Amino acid sequence: MAVVPIETRYKTEMNALFEEDAKLRSWLEVEVALAYAHAKLGNIPLEAAQEIEQASKKVELARVVEMENEIHHDLMAMVNALSEKCKKYGGYVHFGATSYDIEDTATALTLKRAIGMIRKRLVATSDLLKQHAASRKGMVCIARTHGQHAVPTTYGMKFALWFCEVERHLERLSQAEEMISVGKMSGAAGTMATFQGKGYEIQELVMKELGIRAAKTTNQVVQRDRHAQVVFTLALIAATLEKIAKEIRNLQRTEIMEISEPFSTKQVGSSTMPQKKNPHRSERICSLARLVKANVVVALENIPLEHERDLTNSANERFIFAESFILTDYMLREENAILAGLQFYPENIERNLELTGGAVLAERVMIALTNKGFGRQEAHELMRMCSIEATRDKKKFLQVLLAHPEVTRLIPKDELEKLFNLKNYIGESSEIVERAIGKV
């Protein structure tokens, strides 16, 4: 029975890339590429490379595990299992290589493929955010700063902001893919000594066959700053997903209820309170994001390995790569489902916009007074006092302003009333959205 929830509850298509059999197949893929590189350079017969390739298709994970239990070395267990499947040329398996020539190169292949899967999910997120930004650019709502009502904004602005952030993550993913798509075939301490003067040629041939680049220089391992960048990129994506989910959670509060997650007809919110409609998907995203972000610390700790290498990165990398990719993939899938079925409540959006009785337009009146010759700081203080009076006496903000001669002396009643149209104090928000999503 599985212990780790990424194998059950949070499992996605991403799991297939990190399962033990997939790992074994990646190792074998590198071993075959190495054999053909030797064959092209005349180091071994072509028939040997061909036999190794055919034998690689017959290696079984169970046999590798059985050998590992005997010799306590997982990579060498694979080498032995591959060798025993060869009838004649098993002695050429792993010729000149060290363990991490195979492991790090295979890891590059896996992470490159995993990034490709994340990219597909993230492009879908980007598309959904863009659609919401375009369709909601005229949906005026109240902006909140410090949890307080600020000035009017639009839902289009919210989604455009997130869209731009996701677009930056797509750029970062490409940079991370470029950084991680390197392998090595440089031997025990990175000197290529075992390849007897043909190290660069072998390395280039192997990487060309696998579709990645050769690292310029390594010791016994590919340096872990590359892997840390990948994990950090996933953490940035997770943080943005958390940001969006947190905003949805807050806007779904009973007393706000402007938007909400989709809620199916048979869905249960609470085991004891039948009326509950909890934002459980958004809360789950916020919870899992903490794990992905925490893995960045581990990835950074893996960078300063001792001398030409030690094993302190190895055990934890069996967790952090799979966990970070699977959880990010799961969160993207959840976020996309939320965005696709997001519910809007226009009547509540309208109610909350009017909640302060027009006090959220104090800034607008301040600017109008300043344009009429009133000092900006004096206008600010006057509006501050008027807002306090309106709150204290439970009056509309316009009502309080109309009773102030200092205001009406400069701004006639009809002109002042026009300032209190909440829906036309949204500045350049429509153009901002259009520019953000590429409509202009």
What residues act catalytically? 146, 270
State the DSSP code for 60.
-
Which helix (H) or strand (E) element contains residue 343? strand 343-344
Partner residues linked to 141 by β-bridges: 153
What lies within 8 Å, CB to CB, of 406 at 6+ separation is: 374, 382
What is the H or E stretch that residue 365 is in?
helix 362-371
Q: What is the DSSP letter of 194?
A: G
Which is it for strands 140-145 and 148-154: parallel, antiparallel or unpaired?
antiparallel
CB atoms within 10 A of CB 311: 9
Other beta carbons within 10 angstroms of residue 37's beta carbon come to 26
Q: Residue length, the chain?
A: 440
In angstroms, the CA 414 to CA 359 distance is 18
Torsion from C-alpha of 315, 321, 322, 327, nearest 10 degrees? 130
Nearest of 101, 107, 111 to residue 231 by alpha carbon: 111
Which amino acid does the sequence have at 198? K
Longest CA–CA separation in the chain, Å = 103
Pick the closest to residue 169 from 129, 196, 109 (CA basis).
129
b/e sequence 158-186, b meaning 16+ C-beta within 10 Å: bbbbbbbbbbebbebbeebbebbbbbbbb
Q: How far apart are CA 282 and CA 262, in angstroms?
A: 11
